Amino acid sequence: MAIFFIVKLVKMKHKTQREKLLNFGISSLALGIFPLIWFLSQALLFRELTELISRNLLVVAGIIIGSTFIFLLFFGMNKIITYADKDSRDSLEAKMFVGPSLFMIGLFLFYPALRTIYLSFRDRYGNSYNGFENYLWAFSDQEMLVTIRNQIIWLVFVVTFVLLIGLAVGWLSDRLNKGEAFFKSIVFLPMAISAVGASAIFKFIYEYRPPPLTQIGIINGIRVSVDQGDYICANNKNIDGLDRVVGDENCLVPIGWLQQRDMTNLPFVQNLDLDNWFNNIIVNIPINTILLMVIMIWMFTGFAAVVFSAGIKAIPNEIMEAGQIDGATEFKIFRSIVIPYIKSTIVVVGTYMVVTVLKAFDIIYVGTRGDLETNLLAVKMLDEFSKYRNIGRSATVAVLIFVCVFPIIWFTIKRERETVE
């Protein structure tokens, strides 16, 4: 009897080992081998097709071949999973669907990241190792230091103003008795506009043309048309038989807003005492950078307001009414009840805005192309690669962006784990 149980136990052990080995093999196929074969076969096939057929036919062939390969991949994996034991099939099916996605993420995300880090230690052509020379350049080159300064300014002011204005607008919109939906849709509207479109709109607002050309920018058009006392000014118009041209010495002159690295050339600071430290700070404010930041603040304030308003609506009415009964003012209710309740929402929106600012590209590129000391890291990375043809420095800037984003990723993962626990 004892011998029977020992033999049975050995058989069960061998069976368990075989099942584990089979499950391991199927998992390896799902997560690595099959996706690799799937990718390489398509890559080789398309490399041959590019020389045989036109681009339009290549698009059609890509849709057909890609769909066929995906079908064959999952059909084959589903057949293989039937050989596994029933208890393991659910987990293996999950791996079957996740496997190709993880493979593609590893191929197109992790590999380029590692390759970028590698290139950051190479020369401008990526041929020879040059140690930390690129990183020394990043923290000593004047143009790069201005770029880092601008990135810090954007992170501090854009994120802060979007959160503050978004909180205020979200709170006030929640207080509306009528027209709340209409108000929120209007506030959210800028978010529906692309960054390129928003930049083009504001570039038209800030547009400057040297006198005596007609000013098509809204701000300068209004500025040169403001009457000075009894003297009538206009934007290149004939008034009462007299031509009023831009640049008239009796009228205000247009200002190149996006061309101003600081406020030195602006008329309202001409008479400031620059020996005063406060006035000196005012004069050195990068006005063009601030005007570009206004675009992003305008775009994302509505998004923040709508998200905060949804969070405020989730607060129980009993708590809000209790605060009102105790005689708390609206500001005190906002500070002591609303803010603590939507703290997690504020963190989420703030994290999203930090990442958005770090990858800001369109606004700068459309507005100034990164010239006139308005550059940010994303635009600088492109400049080093395409304008200066320096692969090593471009990769270094990319690594700096990644270093800035990594703590945010770590914080988000940690926060999600704490929420689950």
| CATH number, domain 142-196+286-420 | 1.10.3720.10
Question: What does the chain come to in residues?
Answer: 421
Euclidean distance between CA atoms 373 and 387, whole angstroms? 16
- Cα distance between residue 221 and residue 215, in whole Å: 5
Percent of the chain having pLDDT more than 70?
84
Mean pLDDT of 260-279: 72
pLDDT band for 14, please (50, 70, 90 cuts): very low
Q: What is the mean pLDDT of residues 391-396?
A: 94
For residues 105 and 122, give the distance between their C-alpha atoms in angstroms, rounded to a whole number: 25
Instruction: Give the residue carrying structure tokens 């300014």.
Output: 153
Does the pTM exceed 0.95?
no
- The CA–CA distances, whole Å, from 66 to 141, 224, 259 equal 47, 60, 49
Characterize 326-365 residue by residue with b for buried, 16 or more Cβ atoms within 10 angstroms of its Cβ, and e for exposed: eebeeeebbeebbeebbeebbeebbbbbbebbbebbbbbb
Residue 4 has pLDDT above 50, yes or no: no
- Whether residue 30 has pLDDT greater than 70: no
The pLDDT tens digits for 66-90 are 777 777 777 777 777 776 666 666 7
In the Cβ-directed half-sphere of 25, how many Cα atoms lie within 13 Å?
A: 10
Count of CA atoms in the C-beta half-sphere (13 A) of 377: 25
Using the predicted structure, report yes or no on whether residue 126 has a pLDDT greater than 60. yes
pLDDT of residue 12: 40
Beta carbons within 8 Å of 242's beta carbon, 6+ residues apart: 232
Q: What's residue 234's pLDDT?
A: 82
pLDDT of residue 139: 93
Query: Among the listed ranges 3-12, 19-28, 157-166, which one has the minimum average pLDDT value?
Result: 3-12
Q: What is the pLDDT averaged over residues 305-326?
A: 85
Separation of alpha carbons 294 and 363, rounded Å: 10
Q: What percent of the chain stands above pLDDT 90?
A: 25
Q: Are 349 and 159 in contact (CB under 8 A)?
A: no
Residue 184's Cβ-count burial label (10 Å; 0-12, 13-18, 19+) is: buried
18 vs 341 pLDDT, higher one: 341
Helix (H, G, I), strand (E, B) or coil at 129: strand
Q: Out of 5-9, 145-149, 153-157, 244-248, which region has the weakest mean confidence (pLDDT)?
A: 5-9
Strand partners, 231: 228
- Return the amino acid letter for 404: C
| Residue where the block lists tokens 């400031």 | 272
* Residue 48 burial (10 A CB sphere; 0-12, 13-18, 19+): exposed
